[in-house]
Chains A and B, each alone.
Chain A
Amino acid sequence: MSRSVARTFKLRPSLPRFAANRVLPGLLSVALLCVALRVPAVADAPIKALFGAQTIAFSHVAGSGAATAIGVNDPGLREVLRETGATVTWRPGERYVLITTAAPLVVSFAIGDRRYDVGSIVLQASIAPYVRGNEAYLPLSELLRSLDLALRPDGSAWVVQPQLAWLDVRTWGNRTDIVARAGVPLRPRLVTDTPATVAYEFDGVGTSLTGTRNINAGGLRTMQVVQSGSVRDPKTIVTVQLAPGATHDIVRSDDGRDAVIGFGPVGFTAQTPFGEATPLPAVQANAAPAEAPPAAGTETATGATVTAVTVAPAGDGFVVAIGVNGNAAFEWHRLRDPDNRFWIDVKNAQLQGAPIDQPEPAPLGALRVRQIDPTTVRVALSLSGPKSVTISPATNGVSIAVGSQDVADAVRAGSGSIGSVVASNEQTAPVTPAPADESGTNWNSDSESSWKFGPRSTYVPANPRLIVIDPGHGGSDRGATRNGTAEADLALDMARRLNGILVARGWQVRLTHDTDVDVYAPNDSAHDELQARVDVANNAGARMFVSIHVNSFINSGPYGTTCYISKPSDVALAKDVEHELTSDGTKDDGIVKSHLYVTLHTLMPAVLVETAFLSNPSDYALLTSPEWRQRVAQSIADGITRYASQYPVPNQPSQ
């Protein structure tokens, strides 16, 4: 009996001993776990804060101080998001909580991870987001900061204070812009305006960007940022010391969230980076000095203006009349049937009035007029077929007569001038002499089965012995660079090596450029440059087009060789070239279909070879080796030969 009692005591200890042995360690473990996970054990009292003219209550609050977290379903947070134009997306079970600001900018928090992203910037929060119940909790101060807001104490109360969070200084040639952004629309006031000093006051916003920065560019010497006022009514004052002779101007974006203060020589105008400049309402304390008129001889004074584009019926077709005020050169292109787009670029010209994008009856199809870059106006037509087009320049413009009849073998590019401008001479690419005999390919084969990928191409090369090699970039466009090594130089070197090998094998070869120059013109647009390369191949009726490039990326991870294509008829050529290129151990990144300009607009089988990554150390070592570049040229030549033997030209025209 006594033994039985003793056992009972062992099995049922007294309450204090039970608490000491079981409950306390359990509680301690939970508490330690909570500390380790930084999960607040209990929710704190709601935070009431003044936000503008209203009082916001944050009720889904946990923790305190820097570790304060707020639930994504908190009504106060929802109100702040609504006021700032931001949205939050999260559903139970999802790892990421995404805040999309009005900018718009995506701020992403990950459950359990203190790192968070504000756009492309990675930051570290004081606590990691966590889930409690069906609600995600985010670090409050970081969340508000991402919205350009800050929670500030004001005595015993709290204030959600908009912050002047961005003050980017951007230098453009002889001018500098200060771009300011805050959590609310900005209302800057000019409070000081002397030849040496300018000060703007931003009412209602505080900042943590206080201090003085030396700029010394674009008419601007220093910028000092000071916060004044009270917590509830803060002011941020940006004071700029000017260089002698500098002037300033201010505009803001359409939504009022960005203010751009521009500094530069007399006569310049500030522009927002967000489209049309919106003049700031006159809230300045002192009127800015009157600006002097632009000096004679500036770019605007010599440029032409496209004043109107009209369409009128003429005969069995239409005439598109482009009114041009001033002297300008123009250049036109058309693509080959069935892609019957036609466009004419008026150079050094500004479009007066709104862009046009409207359907037109056949044979015009559609008319589009746009300012495609700061100095070029493009008038484009989508013709309903390979219609006859006659271009007639005059002193006051140029007219394009489009007839209803189809024409064969129409000229596909040309240039001219309006007024007294002399059009640039057409550049001709070098052509290697024709070899004495052919490569032995069976040109007369018309085998249907030889076109096994996609729809059978209807392209018949005018010169089946000609291969056009396009060294990527060149001249004013260096392409990717690393340690002084430029893609343009490497591509040209490999293209020259390939040229030598192909000529030795009996091919005719034309390089789009055989020296380090732009194919179209120095500092031209990428479009003009690429179209000029396409024109070389299309106008020559080449059999194949091979563009040689060097890849690059923002980090050193990716490496290897890739062949890019756009058309079904490119696939077989790319397969053979990629096969040969990677047979000697280079990493095979495969054949990638993309919307690349040169492979898309060339009529013949084409491939853009990204030989290796300049941004990867191993590939960089290969690229800087002449022996490796020779192997690349050899491999591409082998791929071309392999392709030519497998896929002979159908319907070969008589030579």
Chain B
Amino acid sequence: MNDAVAVAQKRASNVRGNRTVALAFLLVVVVVGTWFYLSHRPPELGNAVTVYYTKLDGTTLGNLSVSLRPREPGESADEHLRNAVLYAAVQAVAGPPSDVQAIRFPPGTRVQGASVSGSTATVDLSTDVERQAGGAFGETGEFKALTYTVTAVPGITGVKITVGGQSLPTLPGGHLELDEPLRRSDF
């Protein structure tokens, strides 16, 4: 009789042990799964992008908020991110409305395209951007605003600039190094 009780207690103990192991395993799976999901899910882009512009002191940034359309049916998260980057870049190159004093890209400069690879966005500008006034003042102000605006899109930390579809180490007669992606810490 006592043996039977002991066996039953041992069996119950084993079941409790197995249950604990299973629960621990489940807990680990849930924690790892949650971490994996949170770290790999596409960033929430929200319903607005912050568009920065450089004020005429050459360093201070101003900003305005521009509505961002929601993700459309059939538009993948990657496409939506790319479109948001394109949209943000277009707004940054356009600059604030004309009654706001700001350093502006040369007239006619257009964003011809954008793409995203990892956390780096590539923004292609028209060759009009090469018509700079000649000083580091304009170049720095323009690209600082563009960099801050595009990196304000969640998930983007760097902006590679191409001009007319080509990678340029610098603008003709220019000062800025454009060979590597620009980051906020560069300004």
Contact = CB atoms under 8 A, between A and B. Distances in A.
Interface of A: 87, 89-91, 94, 96, 98, 100, 103-106, 108, 110, 113, 115, 117, 119-122, 273-276, 370-373, 473, 477, 479-481, 487, 525-527, 530, 549-554, 557-558, 562, 564, 566, 589-590, 592-598, 600-601, 608, 610, 613-615
A473 B173 contact: yes
Interface residues of B, number: 59
Given A100-B87, A119-B108, 14 more contacts: A89-B66, A91-B67, A117-B97, A117-B98, A119-B110, A373-B168, A477-B173, A480-B134, A527-B169, A553-B135, A564-B175, A593-B186, A594-B186, A597-B175
Contacts of A108: 94, 97-98
B56 A558 contact: yes
Contacts of A558: 56, 58, 137
B58 A562 contact: yes
Contact of B90 (A106, A122, A551, A553): A106
Contact of A613 (B107, B112, B127, B135): B135
Interface stretch (B13-21, B24-32, B159-167): B159-167
A86 B168 CA distance: 30
Nearest to A615: B133
Nearest to B171: A526
A553 B137 contact: yes
B98 A122 contact: yes
Contact of B94 (A106, A373, A597, A613): A106
A594 B136 contact: yes
27 contacts: A87-B69, A89-B68, A89-B69, A90-B67, A98-B91, A100-B90, A104-B90, A106-B90, A108-B98, A119-B94, A119-B108, A274-B165, A372-B168, A527-B169, A551-B134, A551-B136, A553-B103, A553-B137, A553-B138, A554-B133, A558-B58, A592-B136, A594-B140, A595-B140, A596-B177, A597-B177, A608-B136
Given A87-B69, A275-B165, A527-B170, A480 B133 contact: yes
A551 B164 contact: no
Contacts of B98: 108, 115, 117, 122
Interface of B: 56-59, 64-69, 86-87, 90-91, 94-95, 97-99, 101, 103-104, 106-108, 110-112, 126-127, 133-140, 143-144, 164-179, 182, 186-187
A487 B134 contact: yes
Contact of A549 (B67, B136, B177, B187): B136
Given A525-B172, A592-B59, A592-B140, A104 B86 contact: yes
B90 A110 contact: no
A104 B111 contact: yes
A168 B107 CA distance: 14
Contacts of A274: 112, 126, 165
Nearest to A370: B167
Contacts of A122: 98
B40 to A, nearest CB: 21
Contacts of A90: 67
A96 B177 contact: no
Contacts of A477: 173
A201 to B, nearest CB: 27
Contacts of B127: 273
Contacts of B111: 104
B170 A530 contact: yes
Contact of B137 (A100, A273, A276, A562): A562
